[in-house]
Structure 1
């Protein structure tokens, strides 16, 4: 591998890492416009294993905006990132696959006056499919595989329409 190729690969790895971090921050901060902008035009997400939906980035952002209102605090910790670059139309590095584990502590919104400790914690693995676009790396697929969750002794508050 030439020094130029090694430098390009390093730059791509840093850009991919930043994209995954921006994903976590957008969800934790409830910035749904930023969330949608992380996706390629035909990008999709699948949260069914965590009790959610599967759909295009706009549909999923709407579902997340509604369901995340239950939680006053969210903090995705995305770790153990494994990045593999692929080939699209004969150009190396046009695609990437990222597998990353997550732990996500959250606090129910109604618990704002009590402890600052999380009420709900879940963990699992993300599978990200990425594309290099004219705007940089973007997600074309996110699949959540929730592996475990710890719920509080009490039940979650009901969603009010």
Structure 2
């Protein structure tokens, strides 16, 4: 049987398309590739995105919240110009590699700092989101750090 150049081109296209389809099917069925959304209520968070932008702009007008690593854990230090007794809010820690390690802490300050215990933080990358309210104005600061 003789194969001319036209048949060779058709066979090459069929082989290439089969190769691509094999990998598309294999990757879409692989359990190691998790295709979940980053957050459980993604669309609800998207609707409130403008509020987050406004809160971030409010936070830029103040001194930045400092993060300090200590032997006891991570210390979140608020500006001393703010009365810490009037601060309400939440600190969210998000671990991109494992959603089971994510946790939230309510802001209950006895001084200008909040200690996140070392036992709660495993080594690796963390995304920190500090949402707080002071005198009716909302603030938001986002940080990424390696612990």
Q: Same fold (TM over 0.5)?
A: no
Larger Cα-atom Rg: 2
TM-score by length of 2: 0.29
TM-score (norm 1): 0.27
